[in-house]
Amino acid sequence: MKWFAPAFLLLFSFFINACVDKEPVLQEGIIGERILLNNDREYVDYLLAEIEKCKAAGTAYNFEDKDGKVVSNPDRRWLENVYLPQQETGDVQERACTEKVWSSITVTGTSGYAGGILRVFKSSTNYIRGTGMIFHNNTTATPGGNTTMSNNSVTWTCDGWCQDYRLALDGVPQPTSIVMTIFHRNNEGQICVTPVTVPNANVGFNSTLITSLCFCGAG
């Protein structure tokens, strides 16, 4: 019966480990196809193409003007004459080199909504970038997906480092799909567009969306 003690301990250990609560590991978001836009005109062209997709699906791409009025599926004139000048406000012009990040949220589902905050950190130090918080109004889910552009951005002095992105989102009930599209402008005026699908587990948590995300073609 010499085998009994080791076998009993092994069996006892199995039952003990089976009863231990283990924290679920929240996976990071899934990066989609990245696009590099060379200037503001290409950015407007990109937005218009996305707006046309929304219109074809019977959904909306929403923006806010400086007075907080929601403008859905705007045309080129509004984007160039209202949105772009408004989007430039808040830049630190006196700095020799600046970078900027803003984002949109696309919510897909048969009911519910999602909204909240995307936070931006410098990957190497975990220091928050600028004000650090990009705000997203609650966006109602539709089967085709509604999109809302953030109403602010984060700006910092260029340093060549990648960024970590964390989410604090709320969704009731939990939508089928949430995609955060991150727009990163470098000092040369190029814009890197990165769509990131949010794991459902992130809704309602202050958790990591993606780590060490560099500018398109860097890192």
Question: What are the pLDDT digits (tens) for 30-44?
Answer: 999 999 999 999 999
pLDDT at 11: 43
- Rounded to the nearest angstrom, the gap between the alpha carbon of residue 77 and the centroid of all alpha carbons in its chain is 27
State the pLDDT at residue 159: 87
Q: How confident is the model at residue 80 (pLDDT cuts 50, 70, 90)?
A: very high
Q: What is the mean pLDDT of residues 177-185?
A: 94
Average pLDDT over residues 105-121: 91
Q: Which two tokens stand for residue 3?
A: 């085998």
Lowest-pLDDT range of 8-22, 78-92, 118-132, 146-160: 8-22
What number is the average pLDDT over the span 60-86? 94
Domain boundaries, the chain: 25-89+103-213
pTM to 2 decimals?
0.83
Q: pLDDT grade, residue 92 (50/70/90)?
A: very low
- Close Cβ partners of 74 (under 8 Å, ≥ 6 residues apart): 51, 63, 82, 83
